[in-house]
Amino acid sequence: MKTIFKLFAAAVVAFAVSAAPASADIKFGVAAEPYPPFAEKGADGNWKGWEIEIGNAICAAMNEKCEWVEVSWDGIIPALLAKKFDVIISSMSITEERMKTIDFSDKYYNTPAVIVAPKSSAIDGTPDSVKGKIVGVQVSTTHANYAEKHLQSMADSVKTYQTFDEHNQDLVAGRIDAVVGDSLAMSPFLKSDSGQCCEVKGNLEDVAVFGPGVGGGMRKGDDELRAKFNAAIAKIRADGTFDAISKKYFDFDIYGSGS
């Protein structure tokens, strides 16, 4: 009887273990702030967008189980270093400054930065054109770094915002004179009813600030994960998955040129 009971108990334990949900092998970190069309939460509470689909495709190409962990943008690198997740997939540009703290995968997209202002404005992105003006940027971004480096000396001020949407709202309301941001992320705003006030006034270039593109941010020393992630990017680029996902969102090559 004891033997039968032990066998039964072992079977129950085995079933319980097999029935338990499998934990994720890899966790992806995404900024909690909405950043369409790259990433935002749907009405059902699930994350959606181009970058979410690309991240899921990379996960599948690595043959891993993955989950998304949300965190505020300005705390996303500290959260990575604290091992809250393993890879930042949140439109983070590869820059020399960030590479002092973390490593990056190969790039998986690259779009230019722009300055956006009211259509009637003479602002064109040059320092002289923002003299006495207020320029809005999202905090802890390459766009903020660019404005600080190139525009702050002439602008009345460079105002930082926690989210991308907040500086767009202040631009529409006339509380600021221009914003610096990603050209693709600005596109939905400029096509919206509220965004009809404004237009792109010029592309902004500085490789030292913006880097070669956007990549997955990882802790230094996670070389095996970085190699697998890079191989997965190459795989979805080669087998057509990257293009198939991208065509649902964009009518141009988001991967961009260069390294």
**What does the DSSP assignment read for the chain?**
-HHHHHHHHHHHHHHHHHHSPPPPSEEEEEESS-BTTTBEE-TTS-EESHHHHHHHHHHHHHT--EEEEEE-GGGHHHHHHTTS-SEE-SS-B--TTGGGT-EEEEEEE---EEEEEETT----SSTGGGTT-EEEEETTSHHHHHIIIIITTTSSEEEEESSHHHHHHHHHHTSSSEEEEEHHHHHHHHHSSGGGGEEEEEEE--HHHH-S-EEEEE-TT-HHHHHHHHHHHHHHHHSSHHHHHHTTT-SS-TT-S--
Predicted confidence band at 22 (pLDDT cuts at 50, 70, 90)?
low
Give tens-digit pLDDT for 81-137.
Answer: 999 999 999 999 999 999 999 999 999 999 889 999 999 999 999 999 999 999 999
What does the DSSP assignment read for 148-196? IIIITTTSSEEEEESSHHHHHHHHHHTSSSEEEEEHHHHHHHHHSSGGG
Q: What is the predicted pLDDT for the residue at 171?
A: 98
Beta pairing class for 113-118 and 134-138: unpaired
Lowest mean pLDDT among 19-23, 58-62, 110-114, 190-194: 19-23
pLDDT at 27: 98
Helix 223-238 × helix 50-62 angle, to 10°: 110
Residue pointed to by tokens 């320029």: 135
Angle ∠(129,133,138) on CA atoms, nearest 5:
105
Instruction: Return mean pLDDT, the chain.
Output: 90
- pLDDT interval class at 41 (50, 70, 90): very high
Output 248 or 251, whichever has higher pLDDT.
248
Torsions phi, psi of 82, nearest 5?
A: -85, 5
What are the structural domains of the chain?
A: 24-110+213-246 (3.40.190.10), 113-210 (3.40.190.10)
Give me the mean pLDDT over the 160-173 stretch: 96
- Return the amino acid letter for 179: V
**23: confidence class by pLDDT, cuts 50, 70, 90:** low
Q: Rounded distance, CA 46 to CA 43, Å?
A: 7
